[in-house]
A and B are shown apart, each in its own frame.
Chain A
Amino acid sequence: MAEERREPTWLYFLIGLVVVLILAIATNKLAHWSAGLPLPGKMGKVLEYPLWAAVLGLIVNVIVTLTKTRPFIQPGVRTELYLKIGLILMGVRVNFQTILAAGGGGIIQALIMVTSVFLFCWWLAGRFKIPDTLRAVMATAISICGVSAAIAAAGSVLAKKDEIAYITALIIATALPLMVIMPPIAYALGLSPEVAGAWFGGNIDTTAAVVGAGTIHSARAQEIAAIVKMSQNALIGVVAFILALYFVTVVEKTGERPSARVIWDRFPKFVLGFVVMSILATIGLFTSDHIHMLKTLYKWGFAFAFVCIGLELSVAEIKKMGWPPIIVYTIVTIFNTLLALIVASIIFGIIFKPAA
């Protein structure tokens, strides 16, 4: 995320952090309050803390935009950082066997989804005459993992900064409603928590919203959604390398060869942290008190990230590029949603059924 950010000053970082902390505490209070409401069945679960956090983030987003005070908190608005810390710590809850089973299914699902969605988006954006750099950033973002993938792709194809900002805004504007409506749809379709989690992980573009949807659905769906999304995240480096290769040889014809080192450079290191935590917990390094405390901490990390998604949405960015990219993004998101449902149902409903 830092490519489009100025270097944070410690003071502004601290101010932003305090604002996010206050909103996370308010989220906690609202979630406890709404849990006591007499809401009908599983639908009442939509009012879980990811929704409250995003709504509070959006409200403060409007306030800081109107008062032009965003720069004072922006360095502390770090969705990805808080989310990754949360995901690493969440590893303590996940048995390593589950990672192996769900990760295997997740990688197969990711290969099918990434290839199909990327190529469909690339083709459709071409039909709408969208510039190659924006096409590449959009196709990578929608097929892999939102903001991080958009930035990785932008590095490979030398996309403009405003193209990244635009796609980032579009990703968040799409992911927020999906985070809220997909869990009730999963219940209505009668999907198992495993298939629901794999569906969220395969479809929603940004990892924070994937975890949010899983949280709203169930603990099991959250676990599977996170693992499936991380399997997909792990492919960023490979796609970034292929894109760089394509742009230097086909689009720009510079004759330079990008280094395969980009595969490791772009590999999300937090995934390794998550796996290490799971192994440490599985071999019994932690007591139940440790695990309880680490679970509390990862939920704080997630709450911080959900608040930040609301804070980061920029409607002004979306207006800049006109309708064609929005139409392409919407059509590809619908395609992604349907394909992910079919693929997740086959892989996590029939082929792999990770033991709980």
Chain B
Amino acid sequence: MNLSEDWMSVVVAAILVILVYIGIIGPNLISIKW
């Protein structure tokens, strides 16, 4: 396992959560449904 990649996933996920939490990433930005 690449440790830096492991930590990178934590950092990217944290950034995404913050962006969702403060409303920058919202339904208007990603409208495609799975």
Contacts from A to B (Cβ < 8 Å): 1-3, 25, 28, 31, 49, 78, 80-81, 84-85, 88-89, 148-149, 151-152, 236, 265-266, 268-270, 272-273, 277, 286, 289-290, 292-294, 296-297, 299-300, 303
Query: Do the beta carbons of B2 and A88 come within 8 Å of each other?
Result: no
When the two chains form their complex, are residues A273 and B32 in contact, meaning their CB atoms are under 8 A apart? no
Contact (Cβ within 8 A) A236 B16: no
Instruction: Pick the residue among A31, A49, A148, A303 that contacts B1 (CB under 8 A).
Output: A148
**Secondary structure type dominating chain B contacts:** helix
Q: Are A299 and B34 in contact (CB under 8 A)?
A: yes
Q: Are A85 and B16 in contact (CB under 8 A)?
A: yes
B21 proximity list for chain A (CB < 8 A): 286, 290
The CA of A262 and the CA of B2, in the complex, are separated in Å by 13
| CB neighbours of B8 from chain A (8 A) | 81
The secondary-structure label for the interface of chain A is helix
CA distance A2 to B7 in the complex (A): 13
Which residues of chain A have C-beta atoms less than 8 A from B2's C-beta?
Answer: 1-3, 80, 151
Contacts of A292 in B (CB 8 A): 27
Residues of B within 8 A of A (CB): 1-10, 12-14, 16-17, 20-21, 25-27, 30, 32-34
A273–B6 CA distance with the chains assembled, in angstroms: 10
Knowing A89-B17, A290-B21, A294-B20 are in contact, say whether A151-B1 is a contact too (CB < 8 A).
Answer: yes
Nearest residue (CB) in B for A49 is B34
A272 engages B5 (CB within 8 Å): no
A237 to chain B, nearest CB (A): 9
Q: What's the minimum C-beta distance from B19 to chain A, rounded to whole angstroms?
A: 9
Which of B9, B20, B33 lies in contact with A85, CB distance below 8 A?
A: B9
A55 vs chain B, min Cβ distance (A): 17
Bound CA–CA A2/B3 (angstroms): 9
Pairwise interchain contact A296-B1, C-beta atoms closer than 8 A: no
Listed A/B pairs (30) with beta-carbon separation below 8 Å: A1-B1, A2-B5, A80-B1, A80-B2, A80-B5, A80-B9, A81-B8, A85-B13, A88-B9, A148-B1, A149-B1, A151-B1, A265-B3, A266-B1, A269-B7, A269-B9, A270-B6, A270-B10, A272-B10, A273-B9, A273-B14, A277-B17, A294-B20, A296-B34, A297-B16, A297-B20, A297-B25, A297-B30, A299-B34, A303-B34
